[in-house]
């Protein structure tokens, strides 16, 4: 790591930025450095804006990825290098608002049935049953599964934003986890990597999900995060209130959870049309 990137990393550590945020910001600065010959601290706002345009028009990156790069550059120039914000007025791209993909209940059943191994199925069941993020399920450790009858839950350590929380441990999932443990005998992490000396790589978990989707004939299912969206939507359809779902998901704002109102089919299909309320007959 160059001296500049080390300074940036140290500044992020001091401000308590999450590990994945630091990794993403450093990767954005590294991409900038590879694109231009001069080091990033010698670039001006015009060069930064040209690079962001390059990411959109030539790299074809999603606007969310471009926004992340813009945030990384703001942090580098504004916080690390101490340059005036007015000199680096980097516009943020407007991210198109799209509803996330949600699997129907029968699709979830088909997905689990087509998992290649018991480990694959147990991991995907855990994501869906507890509403976990990909990084959260990979980082689970055995003590995080609290199975006492009077305290049955899963502890999520240092989720998004560096926050701990508790989420559901269903009896069915607990049975699956116990069968999985008897078969594989993990020692520290619930889902360790192949060497057993660390947590499962997120790319490996994504491949498990994609392989199961392909075997089940499920198209346009995006990534494994679809199971988390399905968890929230199915709870809402079952009558669970938004604030409880917000806490289970670890959302900082209720507005983030409210988007699942648009996905709950039961609430939509069960709503009468105003035409039915008119005295037409």
Residues taking part in catalysis: 133, 160, 225, 228, 251, 260
Element (H, E) at 14: helix 3-14
The DSSP line for 40-81 is GGG--HHHHHHHHHHHHHTS---HHHHHHHHHHHHIIIIIIS
Q: Which residues neighbour 179 within 8 Å (Cβ) at sequence distance 6 or greater? A: 118, 122
Dist CA 194 CA 204 (whole Å): 10
Cα of 9 vs its chain's centroid, Å: 22
What is the CA angle 212-191-257, rounded to 5? 70
Dist CA 236 CA 264 (whole Å): 7
Element (H, E) at 168: strand 165-168
What φ, ψ does residue 237 adopt, rounded to 5°?
-65, -25
Rounding to the nearest 10 degrees, give the CA dihedral for residues 123, 127, 132, 138. Answer: 10
The three-class DSSP label of residue 156 is strand
What is the sign, positive or negative, of the torsion defined by CA atoms of 216, 218, 219, 220?
negative
Please choose, from the candidates 162, 165, 169, 117, the residue with its C-alpha nearest in 3D space to the C-alpha of residue 148.
169
């Amino acid at each position: 790591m160059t001296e500049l990137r080390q300074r940036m990393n140290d500044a992020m550590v001091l401000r308590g930025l999450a590990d994945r945020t630091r990794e993403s910001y450093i990767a954005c600065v590294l991409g900038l450095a590879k694109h231009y010959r001069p080091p990033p601290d010698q670039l001006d706002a015009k060069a930064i804006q040209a690079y962001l345009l390059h990411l959109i028009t030539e790299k074809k990156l999603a606007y969310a990825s471009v926004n992340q790069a813009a945030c990384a550059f703001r942090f580098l120039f504004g916080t690390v290098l101490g340059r005036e914000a007015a000199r680096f007025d980097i516009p943020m791209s407007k991210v198109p608002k799209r509803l996330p993909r949600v699997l129907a209940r029968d699709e979830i059943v088909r997905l689990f049935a087509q998992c290649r191994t018991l480990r694959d199925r147990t991991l995907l069941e855990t994501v869906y049953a507890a509403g976990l993020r990909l990084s959260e399920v990979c980082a689970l450790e055995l003590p995080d599964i609290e199975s006492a009858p009077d305290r049955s839950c899963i502890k999520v350590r240092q989720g998004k934003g560096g926050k701990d929380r508790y989420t559901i441990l269903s009896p069915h999932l607990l049975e699956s986890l116990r069968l999985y443990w008897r078969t594989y005998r993990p020692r520290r992490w619930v889902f360790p990597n192949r060497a057993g000396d660390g947590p499962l790589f997120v790319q490996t978990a994504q491949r498990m999900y994609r392989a199961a989707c392909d075997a089940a004939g499920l198209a346009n299912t995006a990534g494994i995060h679809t199971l988390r969206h399905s968890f929230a939507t199915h709870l809402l359809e079952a009558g669970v209130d938004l604030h409880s779902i917000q806490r289970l998901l670890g959302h900082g704002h209720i507005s983030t959870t409210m988007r699942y109102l648009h996905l709950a089919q039961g609430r939509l299909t069960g709503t009468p049309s105003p035409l039915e309320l008119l005295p037409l007959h």
